[in-house]
Amino acid sequence: MKCIINRRAQFSASHRYWLPELSEVKNFEQFGACARSPGHGHNYVLYVSMAGDLDEYGMVLNLSDVKQVIKREVTSQLDFSYLNEAWHEFQEILPTTEAIARTIWHRLAPHLPLVRIQLFEHPELWADYYGNTMEAYLTISTHFSAAHRLARPDLSYEQNCEIYGKCARPNGHGHNYHLEVTIKGDIDPRTGMIADLVAFQHAVEQYVVEPFDHTFLNKDIPYFMDVVPTAENIAVRIRDLLQAPISAIGAQLYKVKLIESPNNSCEVYGIAAETTIAPTQAREPVMTNG
């Protein structure tokens, strides 16, 4: 039986986005505050996912051994470091979240049966790398608050209550929606980026957060005057709104995850990714170890 196990690790490090071949003006135009000297820091959280068969002891790998490998090959070298100078790879490519994740993969791959490296720069920004050359995934998370009512106009109040329960009440109800948007693309071998992060964040803010925040979706968003704003329909609408802006910044919209409440969430994939499931979803059940 194949299983995936996950090991968590962390390190604190600083970095700077600066290309010596660019002028100071160009560096600040491209990287904004991240170009400031001497740099800035993060508390990085790393998840290493590994796959294998269960042995006679009920384990894929001895986690004590895994811990030591990650410490030796990664965290002991990166913790309290200046990333631009910590590893020779970052002399050629900037240590962005996605570039760090890819580099960690190649540092660990000779020692562990990897299936994914996931690196959180902070809780609202993380990258996933699956070992596919320069291809990586970058996710940002944000939120908006909105009210909605679940009811079809062609049905009676009683019929809507049968379908949607309390959510059909006439005056609606609200949520603090948590939104995660994932893009996919090739890491630029010099900038280390899938796409311009600021442009990515701006697209989500401009096309989703700003127009949706503090609205009654059924009444304030024309699209939902005719479409019931279930979490699923909202996620699909967000996907459709972001498809072109994400393409315009040189990336592919991979996934939209909308968390309506701690108990309810949904995921939809970008148009180009609808026929492709996420790499970890194609594998056997996940075992998480502390």
pLDDT per residue over 104-131, tens digit each?
A: 999 999 999 999 999 999 999 999 999 9
Give dist(CA 119, CA 11) in Å, integer: 11
- Is the bond leading into 153 cis (omega within 30 degrees of zero)? no
Give dist(CA 224, CA 102) in Å, integer: 40
Give dist(CA 69, CA 242) in Å, integer: 40
The answer on pLDDT for 65 being more than 70 is yes
Which residue did the predictor score with more confidence, 131 or 288? Answer: 131
CA atoms within 13 Å, Cβ hemisphere of 266: 13
Instruction: Give the number of other Cβ atoms within 10 Å of residue 174's Cβ.
Output: 13
Residue percentage of the chain with pLDDT more than 70: 94
Pairing relation of β-strands 264-269 and 173-186?
unpaired
In tens, the pLDDT along 122-172 reads 999 999 999 999 999 999 999 999 999 999 999 999 999 999 999 999 999
Strand ranges for the chain from DSSP E: 2-15, 40-53, 81-82, 114-122, 125-129, 135-148, 173-186, 215-216, 252-261, 264-269, 286-288
At 109 the pLDDT is 98
Active site residues: 167, 214, 260
Give dist(CA 119, CA 96) in Å, integer: 10
